[in-house]
Structure 1
Amino acid sequence: MVWDPHQPDRRSGQVTLQELLRQLREQFRGRAPKGPFWLLPVIAIAVLVAMNSYFTVNPQETAVVLRFGKFSRTADAGLHFKLPFGIERVYKVPTGRVLQREYGYRTIEAGIRSKFAERGYEQEARMLSGDLNVVDVQWTVQYKIADPVKYLFRLVDVESTLDDISESVMRRMVGNRYADEVLTVGRAEIAEMVRKEIQAIMDHYETGLRIITVKLQNVNPPDPVKAAFNEVNEARQEKERMINEAQQIYNEQIPRARGQAQQMITEAEGYALERVNRARGETERFLEILAEYQKAPEVTRKRMYLEAFEGFINKVKGVVVFDENQKNTLNLLDIGRTLMGLPESIEPSENKAQ
């Protein structure tokens, strides 16, 4: 970029010294000068120098300053000074804003209820999936200008390059997937992969852009087959619902059955342990009785008889003794029952012992 002092910088709004003098000559041509005429050009030049020696940068912008067409410096938000008359030129880049490019549609009016236009962008949105189905994909790419110097001078028309790369990468990603995956569960993964690949290509071209996100706004089948696709999706959702319900029932019943089985096993093990311990205790008791019986058989026999009779007596409700020489029945005195307030006698028809 070469600076020509004889040409006015129409783009930046600056006026060269030669242009100013030419305008003054035309203005005062044919007029008789009055007073110190030489002060007028001096004042005009001073005003012009003052007007072209500063610039203001907004909060969301970064200014790139060129001196004689070569990069000199960058300037942040605020008031700054520069060399006038085209010696230094300023280009302001919106580095603090999130910019957006739309594909397959365009926003006509943004607001609470935004209006979009899809007609005329069908070819941009229509793509072929990996299973040879046609899908309409609408997506947006949000980005920021991370390096204003690269953005201005490394590549011509960065936005058009971004459009071509975004469409190319999206068509390739959709072409490598099945249509069902693009329409349903694979949208988030596709968007992230597209973002990473676009960023890699833009970095390779040194465009100075940072891709923030890629969003798949609408992914629909074409209108002639939209009804069939909707039926397939409804059937798939019904299938997922039934699978989830069956899984829920499985999660409820299987742990309960396992708990009951474990409980039965624990009870059986406890019962087996109880029976084994009881059998061992009875065996040890029998061996002890056998040892005592071998020492004194008669005494042991009588003791066992009395213990057995005592156990039998504790199980009956009463004892009645019949004597042939007595006309009436004689109740056996039960002191334990009398002290406990139980009846001392029972009817003859109840349990009897003779």
Structure 2
Amino acid sequence: MDWTPPPRGGGQNPDINNVLKEVKQKFPDFKKARGLFLIILIVAALGLGSTAYFTVGPEETGLVLRLGRYNRQVGPGLHFKLPMGLEQAITVKTGRVFKEEFGFRGTSPGVRSRFSSRGYAEESLMLSGDLNVLEVKWIVQYKVRDPRKWLFEIKDGVAAIRDLSEAVMRSIVGNSYSDEVITLSRVEIAIQAQKKLQKLLDTYQTGVQVVTVKLQDVNPPAPVQPAFNEVNEARQQKERMINEAQEAYNRAIPQAKGEGQRVVTEAEGFATERVNRATGEAKRFDKVLQAYLLAKDVTKRRLYLEAMQEMIHNAGRVFVLDGDVKGLLPLLDLGKGKAAQREVTK
């Protein structure tokens, strides 16, 4: 017996819309599940995007850590990194100058800054080389030169700067006299402290550059300050008297030396002039002698005329008198006058 199986689906292709309807009827929460899945995808994309970039400020330097290990260093601007915590970015302010205060603290910075010194005596009290107690206040300005060393080579950079600064300043003050620290050598002490502090910070690999060290105020403690001021005034008066004496010495000694040198120079010049003149006269006499030996009459007459010319030149006014005149001034002869008058009257 021949048997032919009936066609599948009643001889018609299945309708996709009917299939979807049947699926939705069997799974009524399919639409909600799809929306939740899309929300999860969007949140995951946003999370990945937000952790894939970072921004470094204009005064900052960025360091990127990959799985906790240093990877690279970047400058200011927008940068990208691996998301989901694979890379971590840390920023360090390398373009800003920081300040640490010792012996005081600023309470209200501004045009008229206010400071407080209470409670900081342990930082400021120091013993000088001449066994005087001083109250030293200073500041240290620094900036981070190497952010990698600043983050990974030391545990607490600020504490290291404070400890090393205090150690350096105590060492310098302990090797100096009190008057040098207070007035005479404040600038030199600050420069010396900056150099020593920079050397120690480089030794400990802190990555810090010391910009400046300045002594703000150096005074003896309050209980002994009046006596210290009196001693300081006496020292200043002593220094003033020594300076005045040194000034008088510097004014008188060079003047005396110059006067002595002038007298010696004039004497040497006079001696040289006399010697040269005597030498010239001797040579002139030799020449005249030679001329006299050659022509005695002519030479005698020439010498006579030269002598008379010099004598007349030096005499000034010259009077030429007659040999018969017996007096220089003529006398008034009264007798001759009376005789002449008698003759007229006759």
Bin the TM-score by the shorter chain.
Answer: 0.7 to 0.9
Q: Structure 1 residues 234, 289: closer, same or farther in 2, change over 3 A?
A: same
Q: Which residue number in structure 2 is paired with residue 12 of structure 1?
A: none
Shift of the alpha carbon at 1:120? 1.0
Q: Distance in 2 between matches of 1:164 and 1:305?
A: 105
Which AA in structure 2 matches 1:148?
P
Contact 1:60 1:95 in 2 (8 A): yes
Q: Which residue number in structure 1 is paired with residue 126 of structure 2?
A: 127
Which AA in structure 2 matches 1:162?
I
Q: Which residue number in structure 2 is paired with residue 79 of structure 1?
A: 78
Shift of the alpha carbon at 1:242? 4.3
Stretch deviating more after TM superposition (193-202 or 42-51)? 193-202
Q: Which residue number in structure 1 is paired with residue 335 of structure 2?
A: none
Q: Which residue number in structure 2 is paired with residue 320 of structure 1?
A: 321
Shift of the alpha carbon at 1:202? 2.5
Contact 1:320 1:330 in 2 (8 A): no
Q: Structure 1 residues 50, 295: closer, same or farther in 2, change over 3 A?
A: closer
Q: Distance in 2 between matches of 1:302 and 1:195?
A: 95
CA deviations over 1:150-207 (Å, ceiling 9, x no partner): 2212221221122222222222222222222222223333333333333333233322
* Correspondence 1:186-205 to 2 at 5 A: 186-205=185-204
Q: Which residue number in structure 1 is paired with residue 150 of structure 2?
A: 151
Gaps of 5+ in 1: 1-31, 324-328, 332-345, 350-354
Q: Which residue number in structure 2 is paired with residue 62 of structure 1?
A: 61
* Correspondence 1:90-239 to 2 at 5 A: 90-239=89-238
Shift of the alpha carbon at 1:297? 8.6
Q: Structure 1 residues 201, 308: closer, same or farther in 2, change over 3 A?
A: closer
CA deviations over 1:35-73 (Å, ceiling 9, x no partner): 722211111112222222211110111111112212222
Which AA in structure 2 matches 1:270?
G
Q: Distance in 2 between matches of 1:289 and 1:264?
A: 37
Which AA in structure 1 matches 2:98?
L
Q: Distance in 2 between matches of 1:144 and 1:136?
A: 27
Q: Which residue number in structure 1 is paired with residue 3 of structure 2?
A: none
Q: Structure 1 residues 100, 330: closer, same or farther in 2, change over 3 A?
A: same
SS, match of residue 91 in structure 1:
strand
- TM-score of the pair, normalised by structure 1: 0.71
CA RMSD of aligned residues (A): 3.5
CA deviations over 1:258-313 (Å, ceiling 9, x no partner): 44433333332333233334444555565666778889999988887787667666
Which AA in structure 2 matches 1:88?
E
Shift of the alpha carbon at 1:134? 0.3
Stretch deviating more after TM superposition (87-96 or 256-265)? 256-265
CA deviations over 1:222-248 (Å, ceiling 9, x no partner): 112223333333344444444444444
Identical aligned pairs, as a percentage?
Answer: 51
Which AA in structure 2 matches 1:85?
M
SS, match of residue 321 in structure 1:
coil
Structure number with higher helix proportion: 2
Q: Distance in 2 between matches of 1:202 and 1:292?
A: 97
SS, match of residue 141 in structure 1:
strand
Q: Structure 1 residues 61, 261: closer, same or farther in 2, change over 3 A?
A: same
- TM-score of the pair, normalised by structure 2: 0.73
Q: Which residue number in structure 2 is paired with residue 274 of structure 1?
A: 273
Q: Structure 1 residues 320, 48: closer, same or farther in 2, change over 3 A?
A: same
Which AA in structure 2 matches 1:218?
D
Shift of the alpha carbon at 1:78? 0.4
Q: Distance in 2 between matches of 1:141 and 1:312?
A: 92
